[in-house]
Amino acid sequence: MESAVLLEKEAVENLIPQKFPFVMVDRMFSYSETGLVSGLKIQDSNIFLEENIFLEAGLIEHMAQSVALHTGYQFFLKNETAPTGYIGSIKDIQIKKLPQINDIIQSNVNILQEFAGVTLVDIVTFLNNEEIASGQMKTVLAK
């Protein structure tokens, strides 16, 4: 797993359209044109917590925001403002384990295809080097 943080909470929040309390990524460990590793420390203020367990909806939103972070950073590198994006589809989501309060999860985003504002990705989420969720998403940029 990644350990050095490339971007911290404040910088990450400037690159995604979501705002508190709906932010589900708070760090970026690595970036390339074809992928990204993001992270989230699950705080007690998280809206997707129930009895100190991070819910499935929170994991899926974390995965989607990880894709948004990739897009936001891509536009940042070009000195452009990132457009808002939307989830076009979610496919083959498997959730094996739910993290708890104070856990730090990491998601590996692998860009499979980008064309005309549509991005297709595979995402795998880890907790302490254990795969806890995976799936495929398609996101669409607003025009």
Q: Is 17 helix (H, G, I), strand (E, B) or coil?
A: coil
For 107-134, the pLDDT digits (tens) are: 999 999 989 889 999 999 999 999 999 9
pLDDT of 88 reads 87
Q: What is the mean pLDDT of residues 127-142?
A: 94
Query: In 3D, which of 140, 77, 136, 75 has the Cα closest to residue 109?
Result: 136
Rounded-to-integer distance, Cα 45 and Cα 130, Å = 24
Q: Return phi, psi of residue 49, to 5°.
A: -90, 135
- CATH code, residues 3-141: 3.10.129.10
* Annotated domain spans of the chain: 3-141
Question: Percent of the chain at pLDDT above 70?
Answer: 98
For 75-113, the pLDDT digits (tens) are: 999 999 888 888 889 999 999 999 999 999 999 999 999
